[in-house]
Amino acid sequence: MTVGMMTGVRDLKPIEPLTYTGSAEVVPVIPQTRAPAGPADGSAWRPARPGEPQPVDAGMLALGALPSSPFWARRYTRRFLDSCRGMTESTADAAELLVSELVTNAVRFSGDPARPLRYSERASAGLISLSLRHFLERLLIEVFDTDAHPPVLSEADLYAENGRGLMLVEALAREWSYFFPPGGGKVVYCVLDIARGLSRHRV
């Protein structure tokens, strides 16, 4: 009969220490600021041009730069898209998310997020406006705020509470940019392709 031998601690071979061969240098993330591109085709901020496609549906909502504005912008967007024929569920979901992010950014940069406004000060809050324009194959979202600084695309930290708005726009939209209207402030816009799929309206 063969008797197995138990390996003792003294018989174990030492493990070779792990060697880190990568660089310990921390590479800073440089925020990206692109040049303004001017209004998109079919923008609500310029007169219609001859031969330019006209929106099938269009809507605009004016808001104050208040913490509650993203909620009301999402709610308006959902109701507007519910009325658009041929709108798919995936496009509506993406549009609602992008509207929320763009309006949140507008509130953050056109006011002082560190100091909540008293009730008596809310009448003087900055103005934000949301424009939605539904074309046959695309949806144009435009958000105006009174801040004249260009939007900055930067990578947010994994645990950051904010800073991901334009990252989502970059990931979900076909294109996005901004422009400075003649009266001041800025308009940030994005274009969503209307995905082919099951329409939200049953026939």
pLDDT digits (tens, 9 = 90+) for 100-136: 999 999 998 876 544 455 544 445 568 899 999 999 9
- The pLDDT confidence band at residue 3, using thresholds 50, 70 and 90, is very low
pLDDT for res 17: 45
Rounded to an integer, the average pLDDT of 51-70 is: 92
- The pLDDT confidence band at residue 155, using thresholds 50, 70 and 90, is low
Token reading at 26: 């921390």
pTM of the model: 0.74
Number of domains in the chain: 1
Residue 118: inside a domain: yes
State how far Cα 2 lies from the chain centre: 70
Residue 50: inside a domain: no
Residue 63: inside a domain: yes
Is the pLDDT at 28 greater than 80? The verdict is: no
Residue 38: inside a domain: no
**Domain of 115, in residue numbers:** 56-193
Rounded to an integer, the average pLDDT of 96-103 is: 95
pLDDT for res 154: 60
Helix H or strand E segment including 81: helix 69-82
CATH number at residue 97: 3.30.565.10
153 DSSP 8-state letter: B
Is the pLDDT at 180 greater than 60? The verdict is: yes
Residue 17: inside a domain: no
Residue 24: inside a domain: no
Taking 3-state DSSP, the helix, strand and coil percentages for the chain, each rounded to the nearest 5, stand at 25, 20, 55
Give the Cα-Cα-Cα angle 124, 128, 134 (nearest 5 degrees).
Answer: 155
Q: In what order do the strands lie in the sheet with 138-145?
A: 57-64, 127-134, 138-145, 186-193, 175-179
Residue 119: inside a domain: yes
Q: Which residue has the higher pLDDT, 84 or 158?
A: 84
State how far Cα 91 lies from the chain centre: 14
Helix H or strand E segment including 92: helix 89-110
Residue 41: inside a domain: no
The region, left, alpha or beta by phi > 0 then psi within -120 to 50, assigned to residue 8 is beta
Burial class of residue 2 (count of CB atoms within 10 Å of its CB; 0-12, 13-18, 19+):
exposed
pLDDT for res 124: 52
Strand 138-145 relative to strand 186-193, pairing: antiparallel
Mean pLDDT across the chain, nearest whole number?
77
- The pLDDT confidence band at residue 57, using thresholds 50, 70 and 90, is very high
Is the pLDDT at 178 greater than 50? The verdict is: yes
Lowest mean pLDDT among 20-29, 119-128, 139-148: 20-29
